[in-house]
């Protein structure tokens, strides 16, 4: 009891409740959130607030990159190249949706930042810039490839297209014979969430007619599909750590990376077996959400709860996967689950706060002291939340419902 109180007190002090806005944010974790906005009345305000938070994350840095996260203990962290890369398509969508050039300009600054960082062999460094500028990361490079591909396709910027080509070539050069990616991964252990690496090779290959990139993506897809448990749809090696691999558990964040990667690659490569595999996993996770009315942050191979706090980016990422499946096969049970998962993220968002590091941001976990990115608001949670709200709006419009 005493130990628990000490831990709680230490956790509370870590979050610096005396800093502007922190007290209100911490209170919001446990109290006074209001009812869940199922009617979607606050969707636009929620999206706008999350976009303003992303803008604040970029403005907090002087290099054009997006701060990786706002930490309650230390404030903004340094620019995170990986997520800056995949925020670019989100910014381009916002520019279109709101007809506001600001978001396009922000994407341009992000591109300049990334082009400066590319290593001589075409790779991009992993981690945030303050911790690493030299060690390459295949997974992180691929997320940047995704941003470069969208920017080059949208603007015709040849610098970005050349950088994308070099990045794709490097990724193919570090792929193993069996299709897996091990080199430059932690302990050289392959993970199936790297499906979210190869899908961007497939996207790049399709966009710019690079058949080698498509073939590389397909080899990796085969390797990932071989790791699937056919009984439950679970993908082995979908977690971050050896413990998660051996326990067959993972955060919904990396589960969603895996499923999204398989689905995206399979749609591009027209692989029905891959679409079926993604469908099976998505259905298991949908069932968990529906039965629990909550999406636990860590799930096991039977899609059972391992950790209760939600991994909010996982919710938003799963919503995107479910929306994509509804678009693909017309099964609205998936969109139904996506709406519910997003409602839960919206419920955890504090739109108004005096601190721009907190207003509109999305916590790593709900409550924010959960084990995924504890006591911090990562930029990718806001990115996926915006992406999912945009897709929700489009889906409802296509169905003839009010936006």
Q: Which residues bind other proteins (CB under 8 A)?
A: 30-35, 38-40, 286-287, 290, 330, 332-333, 335-337, 339-340, 396, 399-402
Q: How far is the CB of 4 from other proteins (least distance, A)?
A: 17
Q: What is the DSSP letter of 36?
A: -
Please state the closest distance from residue 362 (CB atom) to other proteins, in A.
17
- Please list, in sequence order, all residues whose beta carbon lies within 8 angstroms of the beta carbon of residue 311, skipping any fewer than 6 positions away: 251, 252, 253, 295, 297, 298, 364, 365, 370, 372
Pairing of strands 365-366, 310-311: antiparallel
Strand ordering across the sheet containing 305-307? 249-251, 298-300, 305-307
Q: Which is nearer to other proteins, 19 or 396 (CB)?
A: 396
Using the minimum distance from each CB to other proteins, give the nearer residue, 120 or 330. Answer: 330
101-117 vs 43-59: helix crossing angle, rounded to 10: 40
Nearer to other proteins, 304 or 308 (CB): 308
- Tokens 């069996």: give the residue: 178
CB of 399 to other proteins, least distance (A): 5
DSSP string spanning 369-398?
TSSSSTTEEEHHHHHHHHHHHHHHHHHHHH
Nearer to other proteins, 236 or 343 (CB): 343
Kindly write down the DSSP assignment for every residue of 156-197, as one continuous string.
--HHHHHHHHHHHHHHHHTB-TTS-B-TTSGGG---GGGHHH
Minimum distance of other proteins from residue 234's CB (angstroms): 19
Count the residues in the chain: 403
Measured from the CB atom, the residue of 126 and 309 that comes closer to other proteins is 309
Closest CB to other proteins among residues 176, 307: 307
**Nearest distance from C-beta of residue 222 to other proteins, angstroms:** 26
Minimum CB distance to other proteins, residue 178 (Å): 33
């Amino acid at each position: 009891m005493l130990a628990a109180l000490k831990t709680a007190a230490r956790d509370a002090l870590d979050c610096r409740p005396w800093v502007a806005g922190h007290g209100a944010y911490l209170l919001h974790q446990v109290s006074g959130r209001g009812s869940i906005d199922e009617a979607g009345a606050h969707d636009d305000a929620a999206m706008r607030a999350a976009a303003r938070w992303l803008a604040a994350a970029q403005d907090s840095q002087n290099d054009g990159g997006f701060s990786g996260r706002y930490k309650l203990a230390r404030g903004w962290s340094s620019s995170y190249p990986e997520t800056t890369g995949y925020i670019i398509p989100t910014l381009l969508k916002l520019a279109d949706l709101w007809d506001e050039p600001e978001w396009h300009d922000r994407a341009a600054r992000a591109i300049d930042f990334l082009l400066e960082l590319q290593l001589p062999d075409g790779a991009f460094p992993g981690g945030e810039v303050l911790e690493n500028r030299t060690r390459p990361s295949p997974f992180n490079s691929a997320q940047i490839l995704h941003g470069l591909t969208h920017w080059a396709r949208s603007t015709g910027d040849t610098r970005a297209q050349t950088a994308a080509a070099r990045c794709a070539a490097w990724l193919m050069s570090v792929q193993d014979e069996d299709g897996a990616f091990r080199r430059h991964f932690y302990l050289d252990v392959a993970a199936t969430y790297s499906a979210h690496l190869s899908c961007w090779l497939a996207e790049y290959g399709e966009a710019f007619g690079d058949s080698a990139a498509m073939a590389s993506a397909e080899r990796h897809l085969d390797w990932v599909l071989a790791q699937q448990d056919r009984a439950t749809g679970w993908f082995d090696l979908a977690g971050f750590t050896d413990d998660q691999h051996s326990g067959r558990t993972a955060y919904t964040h990396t589960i969603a990376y895996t499923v999204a990667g398989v689905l995206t690659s399979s749609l591009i490569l027209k692989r029905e077996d891959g679409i079926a595999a993604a469908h099976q996993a998505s259905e298991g996770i949908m069932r968990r959400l529906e039965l629990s009315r909550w999406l636990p942050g860590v799930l096991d191979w039977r899609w059972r709860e391992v950790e209760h706090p939600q991994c909010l980016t996982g919710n938003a990422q799963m919503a995107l996967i479910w929306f994509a499946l509804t678009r693909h096969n017309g099964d609205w049970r998936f969109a139904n689950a996506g709406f519910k998962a997003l409602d839960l993220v919206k419920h955890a968002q504090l739109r108004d706060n005096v601190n721009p590091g907190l207003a509109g941001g999305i916590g790593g976990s709900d409550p924010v002291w959960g084990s995924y990115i504890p006591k911090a608001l990562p930029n990718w949670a806001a990115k996926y939340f915006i992406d999912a709200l945009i897709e929700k709006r489009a889906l409802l419009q296509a169905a003839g419902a009010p936006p």
